[in-house]
Structure formats: structure tokens, C-alpha cells
């Protein structure tokens, strides 16, 4: 039998991991943008702005809730969604700190993703390969 390794991370790292996982879908990013632009919205308002089924939007809202990115306030039969600002601040702090350590321009990196067009039967595809400056 194999042994599974269990790594333990600090609370902030766990929160950032959950947030990034939840924001790993473009629809969830779009929902967060809508909530950010207007402090609170119902699921119906979001469905009016994003042309998907109400059940699909609800599932995405649930994932955002699991990551503590949205608050839910119940008013009668309506659920009002808003952004949980504390976790957004943690994410902002993390990315600000991370991005401040990156000073290298893309052109100066030793590994750059280059593209070139493919000629022939699959001409509509691009072919990707890495170019390493220290290898010829």
C-alpha cells in the first residue's frame, strides 16, 4: 500500500488556493466582476446579464460561496449576493507582493514561448515550441 503525503500550509496559503481554484472558470470571474460593479445582485439579475441557465449560474455562485468570495443575504424568497471583501484583500495583497518581485521584461527571459504558422494540411493550427537561449 502506498503512503499519501499530507502537506500542511498556513491559513493564508489555504485561502489563496481556494480563491484561485474558484476563480479558475471564466464565468465565475465574470460573476465576480458583475458583483464588484454593483455591490449586490440576485441570481436572476446575474442570469439576465450572463446568457446561461439559472441552474448553471447557481452552481457557479455556490463555488464562489465555498471559497468565501461571496456573501449571501436572504430576503424572503430572494438571495442577494455580494462580494466578500476580506478575502479579496488577501488575494490582492498576495498578488501585489508576488508581482512586485517580477522585474524581468518578457523579452529578456531565457525561455520564451515562440509561435510559427504551420504550412500544409493543418495550416489553421499554430505550432508552439520553447526556445532556450543557452541551447543551439
Contact yes or no for 27/20 (Cβ under 8 A)? no
The three-state (H, E, C) secondary structure of 88-103, written as one string: HHHHHHHHHHHHHCCC
| pTM of the shown model | 0.66
65: pLDDT strictly greater than 70: yes
H/E stretch holding 32:
helix 26-37
127: pLDDT strictly greater than 50: no
User: C-alpha distances in angstroms, 111 versus 41, 83, 101?
Assistant: 44, 38, 18
What would the grid cell of residue 43 be?
A: 441570481
Q: What is the pLDDT of residue 8?
A: 84
97: pLDDT strictly greater than 60: yes
CATH number, domain 11-99:
1.10.10.10
Q: What is the pLDDT of residue 105?
A: 57
What are the sequence ranges of the domains in the chain? Answer: 11-99, 104-132
Report the chain's terminal Cα–Cα distance, integer Å: 45
For the segment 104-124, the average pLDDT, to the nearest whole number, is 52
For the segment 30-54, the average pLDDT, to the nearest whole number, is 92
Q: What is the pLDDT of residue 9?
A: 84
pLDDT > 90: percent of the chain: 43
Q: Is 24 exposed, middle or buried (0-12, 13-18, 19+ CB in 10 A)?
A: exposed
Amino acid at each position: 500500500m502506498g503512503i499519501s503525503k499530507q502537506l500542511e500550509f498556513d491559513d493564508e496559503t489555504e485561502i489563496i488556493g481556494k480563491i484561485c481554484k474558484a476563480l479558475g472558470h471564466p464565468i465565475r470571474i465574470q460573476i465576480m466582476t458583475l458583483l464588484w460593479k454593483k455591490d449586490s445582485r440576485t441570481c436572476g439579475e446575474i442570469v439576465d446579464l450572463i446568457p446561461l441557465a439559472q441552474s448553471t449560474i447557481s452552481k457557479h455562485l455556490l463555488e464562489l460561496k465555498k471559497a468565501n468570495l461571496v456573501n449571501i443575504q436572504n430576503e424572503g424568497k430572494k438571495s442577494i449576493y455580494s462580494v466578500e471583501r476580506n478575502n479579496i484583500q488577501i488575494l490582492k495583497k498576495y498578488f501585489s507582493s508576488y508581482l512586485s518581485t517580477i522585474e524581468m521584461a518578457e523579452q529578456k527571459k531565457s525561455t520564451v514561448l515562440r509561435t510559427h504558422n504551420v504550412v500544409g494540411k493543418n495550416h489553421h493550427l499554430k505550432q508552439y515550441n520553447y526556445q532556450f537561449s543557452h541551447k543551439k
